[in-house]
Amino acid sequence: MPIPERFIDELIDRVDILDLVSESVRLTKKGNSWWGCCPFHSEKTPSFHVVPDRQLYKCFGCGKGGGAINFVMELENLSFQDAVAVLAKRVGMEVPEERGVSQKVRERRERLLELNKQAARTFHRWLHGPEGEQGLAYLQKRGLSRAILTRFGLGFAPNDWSALIRAMTEQGWSKQDLLDGGLAVDNKNGRIYDRFRNRVMFPIIDVRGNVIGFGGRVMDDSTPKYLNSPDTPVYNKSRNVFALNLAKRSQAGRVILTEGYMDTIALHQAGFDSAVASLGTALTAEHAQLLARYFKEAVISYDGDGAGVAAAQRAIPLLEKAGLKVKVLQVQGAKDPDEFLKAYGRDAFQKLLDGSENQVDYRLAQLRRKFDLTDDSQRVAFLQEAAQLLAALPSPAEREIYGGHAAEMAGISAESMQQEVRHAYQGRVRKAERQQTRRDLAPASQLQPQSRELRYENIRSARAEEGLVRLLLLDPSLSASMGDLRGEEFTSPLLGRIFDLLRRRAAEGLSTHLPVLAEALSAPEMDHLARVAAQPERVANAGQSIPNYISTIRVERTKREAMEQDEALLAAQKRYRQKKAYVEEKP
């Protein structure tokens, strides 16, 4: 059965959306609302808006919006029922028993999380037992203390085809559980065996403290050297970051990005507790947005080889788009941060970190390596590419300063470089102005829902329909002032449906706040209703605005019906003329 509406009402009343959102977004108060950079898309200028008294959020950049349930659904990629369960646990409520597919999905997810936790404990026990002697010796040789092994929950998978399968089945887990969790693999012959064998094990833990997957480093020359869990119902490598569960508590204010587990762990042991690593894949936009929820600055500390440089170049724009200030640390005299710490110590790495290079200088230096600056044609090509890079910088001061750096590299005057950068910048401005002009020439399009499936047929009527819906969201008692108006009279099917739903809830004494409609609306519908709800509306003026809104809806309906009648009459006349002509032509 579905979750009772009154339970959802009480849940929304108990959840403080400002506290909920503040755990993932840095918010600044402006007037009666709060603003920050959106956690759902990359941006530098805050367009994410939280209105506590209406219990909703809205991003005016990407369009996403809704209430507490929608926020958790979007942030954690959860179903409605799972998001309700998360919020209920947060405020100490117990979700009424429900039946059906959603319950099974949530129970399956919870079972896999519990399986991973028990597997992690088993791996950790084996590391300190006879089975893990080789793995423990390897980690000790790498300089890791017992305390750091415990903090990260490191473990060991024995060189056995079915050690974990036996251990887990003895605890009551089925082989299908192990397959679903990515801990076991089946071959073409139907044989099931452990995915991880003869490997040091690194549990992957999400920001809520759940073990969601594993990475394993092999002890011999087998390949791959590092093996990660596959994507499962609880794990997606593109949306999670290794050690963020620990790094998010750091007071450092900047995240250190490394290429692997060992670099991250070595940095934590040395006291750099904001180090993280992506999980067997290049940094993604989702990774960057996740990091931007917890940090303002990112320092890229990848290996100094060609692959590391290329990875840093790819990561810089993703991190910047997410709103992070980016620096690049170039490890000198060692292959990676772990090796550098062992060779030179913590203080030396701290100096390296404090002196990390601004990403613009780093990118200029990497760009310079592409060209032979003793050749005039290549020097011109370098300057043109550098100008395009610098034209994207937001402030004139930055463009001038880094333009001077590029000029010095190429051996030309700063004035000449400034002119080149100015030309490239003006080109960008002209392009942006053309795009804005196209948007300004179609003002009606600004009033349309972003989703094409929800487009309005009649803007004037839809604006009035929005007003009535907005008033019901603010004050359900206003339903009594809306007479016999029904949603079927609306030109927007979505607004008509919501109007009827809100009036029904008002009549039954239920909440009409937008967040309680999360189950009744698709994501695009909720995004649009959040935009409607976030617009100004004064309940004090309802006595005047309600009759005006209703009048507009009905006048537009009369016009539409008259137009439809005219069109029907013209169509009938056309059919009559065609029939008459056919009869006259018939011999």
pTM, 2 dp: 0.65
321 vs 43: CA distance, rounded Å: 5
Residue 576: predicted pLDDT: 62
285 vs 372: CA distance, rounded Å: 33
H-helix or E-strand spanning residue 213: strand 211-218
- Three-class secondary structure of residue 268 per DSSP: helix
Residue 144: predicted pLDDT: 95
Fold match flag (5-91 vs 241-363): no
Domain boundaries, the chain: 5-91, 103-228, 241-363, 370-440, 455-564
The CATH classification number of 241-363 equals 3.40.1360.10
Residue 101: predicted pLDDT: 46
Token pair in block for residue 5: 């509406």
| DSSP code for 235 | B
Q: Which residues contact 83 (CB under 8 A, 6 or more apart)?
A: 69, 70, 72, 73, 76, 518
Q: Which residues contact 504 (CB under 8 A, 6 or more apart)?
A: none
**Do residues 26 and 36 touch, judged by C-beta distance below 8 A?**
yes
Q: Which residues contact 422 (CB under 8 A, 6 or more apart)?
A: none
Q: Which CATH superfamily is domain 5-91 in?
A: Zinc finger, CHC2-typedomain (3.90.580.10)
Helices (H), ranges, 278-358: 285-292, 306-321, 337-344, 346-354
Give pLDDT tens digits along the chain (587 positions): 568 888 888 888 899 999 999 888 888 888 778 998 888 887 778 889 898 888 889 898 888 888 999 998 888 777 788 888 888 888 888 888 654 445 677 778 889 999 999 999 999 999 999 999 999 999 999 999 999 999 999 999 999 999 999 999 999 999 999 999 999 999 878 799 999 999 999 999 988 889 999 999 999 888 889 999 999 988 988 888 999 999 988 988 899 999 889 999 999 999 999 999 988 778 888 888 888 878 889 999 988 777 888 888 889 888 888 888 899 888 878 888 999 999 999 999 998 888 887 778 888 888 888 888 888 888 888 888 888 888 888 788 888 888 888 888 888 898 888 888 888 888 888 887 777 666 555 555 567 777 778 888 888 898 999 999 989 988 888 998 898 999 999 999 999 999 999 999 888 888 888 888 888 888 888 888 888 888 888 788 888 889 999 999 888 888 877 777 767 777 777 776 777 666 666 55
State the fold for domain 103-228: DNA primase DNAg catalytic core, N-terminal domain (3.90.980)
Q: Is 130 exposed, middle or buried (0-12, 13-18, 19+ CB in 10 A)?
A: exposed
State the fold for domain 455-564: DNAb Helicase; Chain A (1.10.860)
256 vs 281: CA distance, rounded Å: 17
Instruction: Give 413-453 as a DSSP string.
Output: -HHHHHHHHHHHHHHHHHHHHHHHHHHHT-HHHHTS-SSGG
**Do residues 71 and 20 touch, judged by C-beta distance below 8 A?**
yes
Instruction: Give 156-201 as a DSSP string.
Output: EE-S-SSHHHHHHHHTT--HHHHHHTTSEEE-TTS-EEES--SEEE
Place of tokens 């209105």: 51
